Structure 1
Amino acid sequence: MAQKPAARAPRPEGPRAGGPPSAGPRDDDGGLRRALALALLPGIDELTRRVVDDIHAHSGTYASGSPVSRDDLREICRYNLLRALEDFGGLPSGGDDFEHAARETGRRRAEQGVPLDTVLQAYRRGGRVMWQVMAEHLRATRGTPQAVGQVAGDRDTELDMAGAVWETIDRYSLEMAESYRLTQLEMQGRQDTRRVALFEALLDGRGDDPAVAAAASAALGVPVHDRYVIVVAAQDPAAPPNPAPVLDDHGIWSFWRPRSGRYAGIVRLAAGESAVLLDLLRHRTGATAGVSPEFDRLSQAGRALRLAEQALRTLPAGSGEAAAFDDRLAEALLVGRPEIAERIVTTQLGGVLDAAAEREVLLTTLRVWLDHGCSAVRAAELLYCHRNTVLNRIGRIAELTGRSAESGEVRLGWALALRALPLIGSEDARAPVEGDSGRA
C-alpha cells in the first residue's frame, strides 16, 4: 500500500476548475492536479478495470462474487473514480458530488452485509491503483509536450501528487464509513422493530400460523423446532431490568421484552440446562421469576407464557425466587382460586393458626415432617431436637385440627394448606413462619 509522504511546508492550493493558473517557475498543486485528472478521465474504463482486478486479487470477499458481483463492483468503482478524479482535479462534477458517491457506496455495502474493513480496504486498493496510473502518466510524458510539472523537482512533484491522492481517498473513506455506520444503525432499528413485533406475535398465540412462526424464527435467529422455555420476571427495583446479559455470559441465548410491567423472555436451552437457568435467575439476577415447562415449537410460546405467569403469581413479590411451573403445580391451582385456598387453610390448619404461642414451631415442624416422608427421625435431625419432640408436636397439631396424623388424606390436606398459606390475603396467613419456603 502506498504510504502518505511526510508533511511538507504548506503551500496555497491552486485555483479550482475555471480559475486561471498561477504564474511561476512551476505549476501550482491545483494546476498539476487538474492536468492529471484531465489526463486520466478519458481512460476511466481501463482505470476501472485495473481497480476491479486489484480488489479481486486482494479480497476473497469481493473475489467470491457474493454478495457483490463483479458488475456491481465495476459500476460503483467507476462511479467513485469519476467523482474522485473530478474532486482531485477541482473539475466541475459530471454528476453527483464526491460525498454522494461515497455515501452511496457505504449505504449499498452496509445493506449487502460486506464488512466495513473490507470496504475500506477496497478504497485503499482503488487509491493505490489510481496513484500508480498517475505516476505512470507522469513518467511516460516526462520531457514531452504533454508533460506536467517539468521542473528540477520531479520527484517532489510525484510526492506532492501522491499526498493529494491519499487526501482524497481519506476523505472518501470517512464519508463512506459514516454512511455505512448510519445505514447499519437504521437497519438495526428496523430489524429490532420487526424482531419485537414477531416476538409479541408469538406471545399472543399467533405462532400457530406457520408463516408467523417462520418469520419469528428468522427474525430471532433460532430454529422453529428446538428446546425453549418462557420466563416472566417481575420488574423488581433491586434486580437488573433484563436478565439477558447474565444468561449470555453462560452461553444461554435469550430474547427479552418489557410486557405489562414485567419482563417476558424466551430462552433456548441445551439438554440439562433447565436447572442452570433456575440457578442463574435465583442467584445472579435477583429477579422474581416464573419459568414455563419446556416446549419444542415456537408456536407454543403463547401457552408457555400463560404458564410462566401462573408460576410467577405463586411467588411472594420481591422474593428474588425463581420457580418452574412444574414445581409449583399445587400453588398454581390454589393461586387461581383464592377462595378455595383460603378455605383449605381454614379447614386444615385453623386450630394451629389460632394457637399463637405455638403456631410458628408447629407449622415449621409440620412442614419439615411432611417434606421428609413423615419421618420423625429425619425431621428431628433437621430441627435439632429429639424424635419424641417431633411426634409430640405432630400429635399437638392433630389435636388442634381434630384430624388424625395417620390418615393420608389428612396429610394431603395439611400439605395443601401449607402451600396455600403464603398465597391467601389474611394477615394471619401471611405472618412470617420460621423456615417457611413456600413448599411442603
Structure 2
Amino acid sequence: MTHSPATAGEPGAARAGGTPTPLGASGGSGALRRSLATAMLADVDRLTDRAVDDIRAHSGTYASDTPVTREDLWEICRDNLRRALEDFGGLPPTGGDSERAARETGRRRAEQGVPLDTVLQAYRRGGRVLWQVMAEHLRSRAGRQSDSRDLELDMASEVWETIDHYSVAMADAYRIAQLELQSRRDTRRVALFEALLDGRADDPAVASAAAAALGVPAVDRYVVVVAAQDPAAPPHPAPALEAQGMWSFWRPRSGRYAGIVRLPCRVVHGGRPGTVTGRGADPAVRTLLAALRERTGATAGVSPEFERLSQAGRALRLAEQTLRTLPAGGGEAAVFDDRLAEVLLSGRADIAERIVTVHLGPVLATGGERAALLTTLGAWLDHGCSASRAAEQLYCHRNTVLNRIGRIAELTGRSSESGEARLGWALALRALPYAGLAPEAAAPEAGLEAGLDATAAEPGPGGT
C-alpha cells in the first residue's frame, strides 16, 4: 500500500513505445486528458517501475524493504497510478470506486506503522514522476515547442489537483485506520491488564503478552495500588506518578481505581540492586505514597512489592485489604506492610472487640477521662515510649504524660515497663476502629512497631 495516486506520478514510468498520436487536433482539454490517460495506461507497468524506483531512491523507509517490500510498493503503486490516470482522463474507474486505492494505501501503511509524512512524501514523488511522464507525452505530440509549453501549463494544475484529491483521501483513511488500531490496542491492553489482576497470568503466555501490550518488562519492581474512586472526580494518578519517573496503568474496577505501578530501580550498598523492607525504608515507596496523598487526594492501599507481573492478582488482594483499613475519604495512602495489624483485625469485629476489652477495657470505662488517656497512650507508643517526645506532640508537660501512662497502668493492672503490656495496648488502639465501639472511643492510631520496640525504649518507670 504505497502511495495512492501520487505513486502514479512517482519517477520511473517509462514512455510507451510506438508512434505518438497528435493531440492538437483532438479538440478540447477533456479529449486531450482522455488521450493522455489512455496512452499512459497502456504502459502503466513501466510507469510503475519508474515510480517505485524513484520512491525507493528518495526514502530510506521504502528502500529498506521493511515493513514495505518492493512487491507491496509496486502492487499498490500500480493500482494508484491506474486510478489517478482514470480520474484525470475522465475514464470509467476500474472496479467502480475511484478512491479505493488511495484508501487502501492509507489503511495498509497505518497498519504497517509507516509514518503519514513518509507516505505523503511518496505521494509527492509519485505526482512528480506522473507529471514528468505526462510532459514527455505532451512534447512528443505537440506540433511546436511553444505549443508544448502551453499544453504543459494547461495540464499541470489539473494533474496536481488530481494528486491532491487522492492524497487527501489516503490521509483520511490513514488517520481512521490509526484510530481503529489504537482502539484495538487499547482494548487488548485493558483485557490483558484485567487478566493480570484477575490472577490469570499463571500461564506464561498471558504474562508475556500482557508485558508486551503494556510496554513493560515481565520481571521488574511493581506494586498494585487500589484507590477509592469518587465518580465525580476520579483520582487519575498516572500523571502525578509519571512526573516522579514511575510508569503506571490504571482502570476503574468495582467502584475503585486499580493500577499497576512500576517502581524505579533500587540501588543499595555496593551499587547492586537489593530488597529493602520495613516501614518507610524504600525511597521509591515513600515517593509513591506522597504523590498519591498530595497530588490525587485519593485514599489508597498499596500492595507489597513484587517482581513478576504474574503476581499482580495476589498483590491486588493485598492492596484491597490495605484500603479497607483506611478511613473513607481521609485521603490517606498506606502500604500493606505498614497496616498488618489492621488487616488482621478488619472484618473480625469479635476479635477486635475482645482485644480492646482485655487490654483497654477499664480505660474506656472512665468516661470523660478516656479521650485524653487514649490520645496520650497513642502518642507515647508512637514516640518509642518517650514521655518527652510525646509531650512535645501533645503540647503538655512530660509529667502530664507520665501521670496519664501511670493512670492507664493502674486501670489495666499492667506495668508500663512490660513489653507485653505495651504490645497489648498498641494492638488495642489499632483494634478500636474495628471493635464496633462508640466513635468517641476511638483515638489516634499507635504504631504497632512502637509497641513491639517498647522494651528497647527509654528506661525508667513509664518511660522518660
Query: 1:47 and 1:437, CA in 2 relative to 1: closer, same or farther beyond 3 A?
Result: farther
Of 283, 289, 300 in structure 1, the residue corresponding to residue 300 of structure 2 is: 289
Aligned-partner Cα distance in 2 for 1:239–1:423: 29
For 1:93, the equivalent position in structure 2 comes to 93
| Aligned partners of 1:127 and 1:169 also within 8 Å | yes
1:328 pairs, out of 308, 326, 339, with 339
**Residue 454 of structure 2: aligned partner:** none
- Equivalent residue number for residue 291 of structure 2: 280
Aligned to 2:243: 249
How far does residue 249 in structure 1 lie from its aligned partner after superposition? 3.4
Alignment check: 8 A CA contact 1:98 1:172 kept: no
CA–CA distance in structure 1, aligned partners of residues 402 and 164 of structure 2 = 87
Kept in 2, the 8 Å contact 1:288–1:318? The answer is yes
Q: Structure 1 stretch 369-378 or stretch 89-98: which is displaced more?
A: 89-98
Task: Please list, as runs of the form range in 1=range in 2, the aligned pairs for 1:9-408 lying within 5 A after superposition.
Answer: 27-143=27-143, 154-237=148-231, 239-271=233-265, 272-408=283-419
Of stretches 79-88 and 349-358 in structure 1, the one that deviates more from structure 2 is 349-358
Higher RCO (CA 8 Å, separation ≥ 6 residues): 2
Whether the 8 Å CA contact 1:231–1:292 is kept in 2: the answer is yes
Residues 411 and 159 from structure 1, CA distance in 2 versus in 1: closer, same or farther, beyond 3 angstroms?
same
- Gap change, CA 1:266 and 1:359, over 3 Å in 2: same
2:99 partner SS: helix
Name the structure 2 match of 1:147: none
**Which residue identity does 1:98 align to in structure 2?**
S
Task: Give the TM-score, by structure 2 length.
Answer: 0.83
Paired with 2:445 and 2:230, the residues of 1 have a C-alpha distance of: 19
- Quick check: 1:238–1:286 contact (8 Å CA) kept in 2? no
In structure 1, what residue type is equivalent to 2:419?
A: G
Given residue 289 of structure 1, which amino acid in structure 2 is its aligned partner? A
CA distance in 2, matches of 1:160, 1:264: 64
Range with greater deviation from structure 2 (266-275 or 224-233):
266-275
**1:101-124: per-residue Cα shift (whole Å, max 9, x none)?**
111111111111111111111111
Count of aligned residue pairs for this structure pair: 408
Q: Please give the alpha-carbon distance, in whole angstroms, between the structure 2 residues aligned to 1:287 and 1:66.
A: 47
1:25 Cα deviation (Å)? 9.6
Stretch deviating more after TM superposition (288-297 or 329-338): 329-338
Is the CA contact 2:370–2:441 (under 8 Å) kept in the aligned structure 1? no
Letter in 2 for 1:80: N
For the 8 Å contact 1:422–1:429, the answer to whether it is kept is no
Aligned to 2:5: none
The separation in 2 between residues aligned to 1:233 and 1:260, in whole angstroms, is 11
| Residue matched to 1:8 | none
Letter of the 1:367 counterpart: G
In structure 2, list runs of 5 or more residues that go unmatched.
Answer: 1-23, 266-282, 449-464
Using the TM superposition, give the Cα deviation of residue 338 of structure 1 relative to its aligned residue in structure 2, in angstroms.
2.3
The answer on whether the counterparts of 1:88 and 1:164 sit within 8 Å (CA) in structure 2 is: yes
Q: Secondary structure of 1:405's match?
A: coil
Whether the 8 Å contact between 2:292 and 2:333 is mirrored in structure 1 is: yes
Asked if structure 1 preserves the Cα contact closer than 8 Å seen for 2:221 and 2:307, the reply is yes
| 232 and 430 in structure 1: CA distance in 2 versus 1, 3 angstrom threshold | farther
**For the Cα contact (< 8 Å) 1:236–1:318, is it kept in 2?**
no
Letter of the aligned partner of 2:105 in structure 1?
A: T
Question: 1:78 and 1:237, CA in 2 relative to 1: closer, same or farther beyond 3 A?
Answer: closer
1:99-158 CA distances to partner (integer Å, 9 max, x unpaired)?
Answer: 1111111111111111111111111111111111111222233217xxxxx9x6654432
Take 1:191 and 1:94, find their aligned partners in 2: how far apart are those partners?
Answer: 35
Cα shift at 1:325? 0.5
Task: Give per-residue Cα distances to partners, 1:38-58, cap 9 Å, x unaligned.
Answer: 221122122112211221122
Which amino acid is the alignment partner of residue 39 of structure 1? A
8 A contact 2:409–2:415 mirrored in 1: yes
Give the aligned partner of residue 4 of structure 2.
Answer: none
Which one-letter code corresponds to 1:221 in the other structure?
G
Q: What residue identity is the alignment partner of 2:430?
A: R
Structure 1 residue 407, shift from structure 2 partner: 1.4
C-alpha offsets along residues 277-317 of structure 1, whole Å, 9 cap, x if unaligned?
11111110111111111111111111111111111111011
Q: Deviations over 1:58-115 (max 9, x none)?
A: 2111111100011110111001000110011101123352211111111111111111
User: C-alpha distance in 2, partners of 1:364/1:43?
Assistant: 94
| 8 Å CA contact retained: 2:34, 2:88 | yes
Kept in 1: contact 2:44–2:82 (CA 8 A): yes
Matched, 1:411 2:411: no
Contact 1:234/1:288 (<8 A) preserved? yes
CA separation in 2, counterparts of 1:121 and 1:245?
Answer: 35
1:217-240 CA-to-partner distances (Å, cap 9, x unmatched) read 122121111111111111135753
Letter in 2 for 1:259: R
Greater Cα shift, 365-374 or 188-197 = 188-197
Aligned partners of 1:423 and 1:160: how far apart in 2?
A: 88
TM-superposed deviation, 1:353: 2.4
Give me the CA root mean square deviation: 2.1
Partner Cα distance (1:248, 1:31) in 2: 63
Counterpart of 2:388, as a letter, is V
Deviations 1:210-263 (A, max 9, x none): 111111112212111111111111113575343223223333211111111111
Amino acid at match of 1:114: V
Distance 1:219 1:25, change over 3 A: same
Distance 1:111 1:427 in 2: 63
Q: Deviations over 1:369-391 (max 9, x none)?
A: 11111111222222222221110
Whether the 8 Å contact between 2:223 and 2:260 is mirrored in structure 1 is: yes
**Which shifted more, 194-203 or 302-311?**
194-203
